Structure 1
C-alpha cells in the first residue's frame, strides 16, 4: 500500500494549544499516523512584520487571511506583547501527543528568528539555535530528538551538518520529489537523509485560480492520483489545518484513503527506505509558486 506521510509544523503557541488537540482528534478518527514538529522556545510571530518588504509577501498575506488564521494576539508576540515560551507552557500537551502514539520532533527554537535569518548565518549561530531546541526537546520528552523539520524550509549547510552531530535518524527540511541523501557542492555527504515535502501546502494554493478552502482539496488529490513508489510527504500547519482549515484537511484525508494511501508518520515512511540506496542530491535555495522568498530545494 502506498504511503503518504503527514508532517505537522507547529509554529506558534496558539497552534500548539488550540490546533494540535483538534488535529489529534481528526487523525485518530481517520486512523492516521503523523509527525508533529514543535517550536520549543519563544513565540515571536509578531516580528514577521519585517517580511513586508519581501517579494510576494503582501500578495500572500492578502490571499491567506493571516489575521483570521493566527489571531491578533499571536501577531503581536515579540513586538507589543512578550513572546510566550511555548515549550515551557505546553510541555504536558506535547508529551500527550507522543503518548497518543504520534511521532514528535523539532521544528525550531524561535520560529521567526530561524526562518528569517538562518540562510545567512554561520555555523556558530546555527548550532546554538539547534542546540537550544534539542536541549528543550530532551527536557520535555526525556529523550533526545530523532528528527527535525526546518521552519519555513530555511536551511544552510551548517544546519544539515549539525543534524548528523545531533544523531538524528532523518530530517524533512526542504521541498523536493523523493527521499535523498544531501551532498555539498563537491558531492560529499552532508547531514542525514532527507524526506522532502513533495506536495504544495494549502496556503500556497488558496486564493489562486479560484481555489478556496472548499475546493482546494481537489487540486491536491489530482496530484496524488498517481502513486510514486517512494510515497508522498504533505506538510500541514497546526495554525491552519488545525483551526479554520480543519474541514479541508478532513476532506483530504478521506480522499487519500479512497485513493488507497496509508496515512503515516514520516518515521514510518523512513523505515521503508534503505538509506544506502537513496540518490545523492545537492540542496539549493530557490523559489516555488505561491510562496514568497526562497527556500531549500532538492537539487
Structure 2
C-alpha cells in the first residue's frame, strides 16, 4: 500500500499535515506528501460550478465544514496566502520525520482549472515555480509530482520529462505504466491511484461511513501495488477518526506500507519494465469533470520513434 497525500491548501498544510504525520506514526505507516507550494487560491474554484456533477459533490461532501469559510475565500475576498513561504518549516518537519516529499503544484487552482488550455511554455513556467520553491524549502531537486485534480496532458508530461522526475502520479488506473499521449510515449513513470478517494464516497447512500472501511478492504489487490490518494484537509482533519479506523484495519490485515519513491525504483530496476498505456481524459465515479485515466495497454516493445526525447 502506497499512501499519496495531497496537500491542497494553506490550512491543510498548517493543521492537516501535522495531524496526519502523528496518525501515520501511530500506526507505523509511511506515506508520500505532495505539497502545494505557492498561493492558496481555493476561493477561485467556485468557477467549477459549471462542471457536470459539481453541485452534487459539494452538497454531499460538506465542503464548508471540510475546508472552512476562510479557505473558501482565499484568492477572492481574502488575499491568497503563499503556502511555501508560510509553512516551509512544517514541510521540512515532514521529511525530517522520515516521510517522502514531492510536488503537488505551485498554484492548485491554476493547474487544476487551466492546465488543459496552457501552452507548453506556460506549463513549464508554472511547474518551474513549483520546482524552484521545492528546492528553496528542501535544498534539493524534487523527484516526484502528482497533478491537482488528476489533470495531465502531453505538455505537462513533457515538462516532467525535462525536469528528470523519477516518477509521477497524475492519473487513475490499475497498475504503473509509461503514458502514451497523442502517439508519443513519455519517459517519466506513472504510478496511478488505484483506489477511490474518501471524497468520492462520502455522503453517498451506498457508502455510509460505517461501510467505507470494509469497502476499501474489499478493493485491495494482492498482486499489484495499491495506491490510495488521501488529502490533508479530509483524512487529516474532518475525517481523521474514520481514516484511523481504516489504518487499524490495514494493520490487522498485514498491509505493508511503502514509499512511492521506493516503489518506483523497484519497478524501474526490474528486467521487464512497466508497460506503455494510453493516458486519456475520462470520467470517474464520484468526481466532477474529466480526469486523466489509464487507457489501453500497448504491446510490449513499442516502436522506438514513439518515445519522447
TM-score band w.r.t. shorter chain: over 0.9
Q: How many residues align?
A: 293
Which of residues 233, 239, 250 in structure 2 aligns to 1:239?
A: 233
Q: Secondary structure at the match of 1:269?
A: helix
**1:159-238 pair list within 5 angstroms:** 159-186=156-183, 188-224=184-220, 226-228=221-223, 230-238=224-232
Q: Point out the more displaced range, 176-185 or 61-70.
A: 176-185
Q: Point out the more displaced range, 258-267 or 52-61.
A: 258-267
Residue 254 (str. 1) matches residue 251 (str. 2)? no
Q: Point out the more displaced range, 137-146 or 210-219.
A: 210-219
Q: TM-score, normalised by structure 2?
A: 0.92
Q: Deviations over 1:93-150 (max 9, x none)?
A: 1000000000000000000111001022210111111000000000000001000000
For the residues of structure 2 that align with 1:48 and 1:70, how far apart are their CA atoms?
Answer: 12
Listed as ranges, the gaps of 5+ residues in structure 1 are none
Contact 2:153 2:181 survives alignment (8 Å):
no
Q: Deviations over 1:55-83 (max 9, x none)?
A: 10000000000000000000000000000
Residue 70 (str. 1) matches residue 67 (str. 2)? yes
2:13 counterpart residue number: 16
**1:20-31 pair list within 5 angstroms:** 20-31=17-28
Contact 2:42 2:109 survives alignment (8 Å):
yes
For the residues of structure 1 that align with 2:48 and 2:206, how far apart are their CA atoms?
Answer: 26
Listed as ranges, the gaps of 5+ residues in structure 2 are 296-309
Contact 2:154 2:182 survives alignment (8 Å):
no
Higher-helix-fraction structure: 2
**1:1-299 pair list within 5 angstroms:** 4-186=1-183, 188-224=184-220, 226-228=221-223, 230-274=224-268, 277-299=273-295
Moved over 4 A (4+): none
Offset of 1:271 from its aligned partner? 2.7
Structure having greater relative contact order (Cα 8 Å, sep ≥ 6): 1
RMSD between superposed Cα atoms in Å = 1.2
For the residues of structure 1 that align with 2:29 and 2:262, how far apart are their CA atoms?
Answer: 11
Q: TM-score, normalised by structure 1?
A: 0.95
Offset of 1:214 from its aligned partner? 3.7
Q: Secondary structure at the match of 1:234?
A: strand
2:304 counterpart residue number: none
Offset of 1:7 from its aligned partner? 0.3
Q: Secondary structure at the match of 1:176?
A: coil
